[in-house]
Copies of this chain bind each other. A is one copy, B any other.
Amino acid sequence: MHKLTGPLLLLGSGADAASIRYATGFSAPDAVVYLRWKRRQWLVVPVLEISRARAATSGVTVLSPLDLALSKTARRDVGAWMLALLARLRCRRVCVTPSFPVGTARRLERRGLRLRVLAGAVFPEREIKSSREIEKISAVQRAAVAALRRAIRCLRAARIAPDRRLLWHGRVLTSEALQLEIGMELLRQGCQPGDIIAACGEQAVNPHACGAGPLQAGQPIVMDIFPRHATTGYWGDLTRTVVKGRAAPALRRAHQAVDAAQKAALGRVKAGVAVATVHRAAEAVFRRRGYATDLRGPVPRGFIHGTGHGVGLEIHEAPTLAAVPGRLKAGQIVTVEPGLYYPGLGGIRREDTILVTRRGWRYLAPCQVPREV
């Protein structure tokens, strides 16, 4: 646990929810209150969650609003839970995260509590994954690989129609059909699908466009699969771009450049290396091969995002792999995902989720896919 100078108070409905799950093992759809003080931990949860919370946690005092002797109206008021818990413990000052809601913060202050807003991460140790966490994230990453393989099988089995659309089982193969196949496989693997990107050609110029409509031969098809495990709550993240049929030379060169950029970035990954070094390794490959980045036009083009991000109980968590301060640490799990995006050419991205080690890195789940299928 992180050393703090005072009691730590979290409100778990939003950004703090992942931290509460990390600290206690419990997560709920509705707001819960977490307090840590002098090595003791408390959770206040709705009445209907009380036995589930007690079963999921150990070493945590789990209370319901009823245990705090609240009036009937205050029982539905999470701010009142906090005030009652802090009053009972005679706690007059608390540390909160920057994402703590300002409305609750002001209310606590009006009641005489002193609030300190933490500057950094509340649990910086969340960045360093334990062996159990590594296994959990690896399991999700293997599920993503299985789902991608399923999508590749569909694309392989598809025929190219004279109009360049793809036909699969007698129907036009669409982004939606590919998303469905990917989602079904993720469900079978115990994961929650959420958003799935299967975007073709021009659509993939927007890195976060999910894609819709018929897929086309000869165009890049970006498949970005980031499932969350239904029971552990951990995420995985995997992207491959493939072309059905043959790619034109310009597309093939860009595709090769993205693969080379990922290889170059991965080549720099090691504990102690600056995150900016990894990002610049990818940038350098693109620059050397003549792929310019222009962020200022109406449609940003080139390598228009960072090289990666941490993955854990949140899909985007620390660290960020970009032109920012900071160094890699052993035990971090991060994506390495350079991409190129040009109107007229389409979008291309390649992403793996890896474990940073003292000597380098390793895949959580390797994934071999040809560029053309």
Interface membership of chain A positions 198-213, coded 1 if the CB is closer than 8 angstroms to chain B and 0 otherwise = 0000000111111000
Q: Determine the distance from Cα of A14 to Cα of B208 in the docked complex, in whole angstroms.
A: 18
CB-CB contacts below 8 Å: A258-310 with B: 295-296, 298-300, 304-305
Of A45-53, A151-159, A238-246, A355-363, which stretch is located at the interface? A45-53
Interface string of A295-332 (1 = CB under 8 A from B): 11011100011000000000110001011100000000
Question: How far does the alpha carbon of A71 sit from the alpha carbon of B295 in the complex, in Å?
Answer: 14
List, in ascending order, chain B residues with CB within 8 A of A100's CB. Answer: 101-103
Report the separation of the CA atoms of residues A169 and B227 in the bound assembly, to the nearest whole angstrom.
28
Contacts of A51 in B (CB 8 A): 205-206, 298-300
Chain A 15-37, CB-CB to B under 8 Å as 1, else 0, gives: 10000000000001110000000
Contact between B192 and A76, CB atoms less than 8 A apart: no
With both beta carbons as reference points, the residue of chain B lying nearest to A101 in the complex is identified as: B99
Which residues of chain A (115-142) have a CB below 8 Å from chain B? 115, 117
B193:A315 contact, CB within 8 angstroms: no
| Contact A188 B193, CB 8 Å, known A14-B15, A51-B205, A52-B209 | no
A96 within 8 A of B: yes
A108's closest neighbor in chain B, by CB?
B102
User: Cβ of A88 < 8 Å from any Cβ of B?
Assistant: no
Docked pose: A106 CA to B46 CA in angstroms = 30
Question: Of the candidates B30, B48, B105, B210, which one forms a contact with A300 in the assembled complex, judged by CB atoms under 8 Å apart?
Answer: B48
A48-B207 contact given A97-B103, A322-B76, CB 8 Å threshold: yes
A3 CB within 8 Å of chain B: no
Contact of A47 among B28, B46, B105, B300 (CB under 8 A): B300
**Cβ-neighbour of A304 out of B47, B96, B295, B322 (below 8 A):** B47
Interface of A, secondary structure class, is loop
Could you mark each residue 169-197 of chain A with 1 if its beta carbon is under 8 Å from any beta carbon of chain B, else 0?
00000001001100110011010111100
Residue of B at shortest CB range from A104? B98
CA–CA, A190 and B180, complex, Å? 8
A66 within 8 A of B: yes
The reply to whether the CB of A230 lies closer than 8 angstroms to some CB of chain B is: yes
Assess whether A72 is interfacial by the CB under 8 Å rule. yes
Question: B14 and A99: CB pair below 8 A?
Answer: yes
**In the complex, what's the smallest C-beta–C-beta distance from A295 to chain B, in angstroms?**
5
Which of B14, B76, B231, B305 is close to A320, meaning CB atoms less than 8 Å apart? B76
Name A315's closest neighbour in chain B (CB-CB). Answer: B29
* Contacts from A to B (Cβ < 8 Å): 13-15, 28-30, 46-52, 54, 64, 66, 72-73, 76, 96-106, 115, 117, 176, 179-180, 183-184, 187-188, 190, 192-195, 205-210, 230-231, 295-296, 298-300, 304-305, 315-316, 320, 322-324
**Known A66-B295, A102-B105, A105-B105; further 9 A-B contacts with Cβ < 8 A:** A15-B101, A29-B208, A47-B295, A48-B207, A48-B300, A51-B299, A51-B300, A98-B101, A101-B102
A-B pairs with beta carbons under 8 Å apart, 28 shown: A13-B14, A15-B101, A29-B208, A46-B305, A47-B295, A47-B304, A47-B305, A48-B207, A51-B298, A52-B209, A66-B295, A73-B324, A96-B102, A98-B101, A98-B103, A98-B104, A99-B101, A101-B102, A102-B102, A102-B105, A102-B115, A105-B105, A179-B230, A180-B187, A180-B188, A183-B187, A195-B230, A210-B231
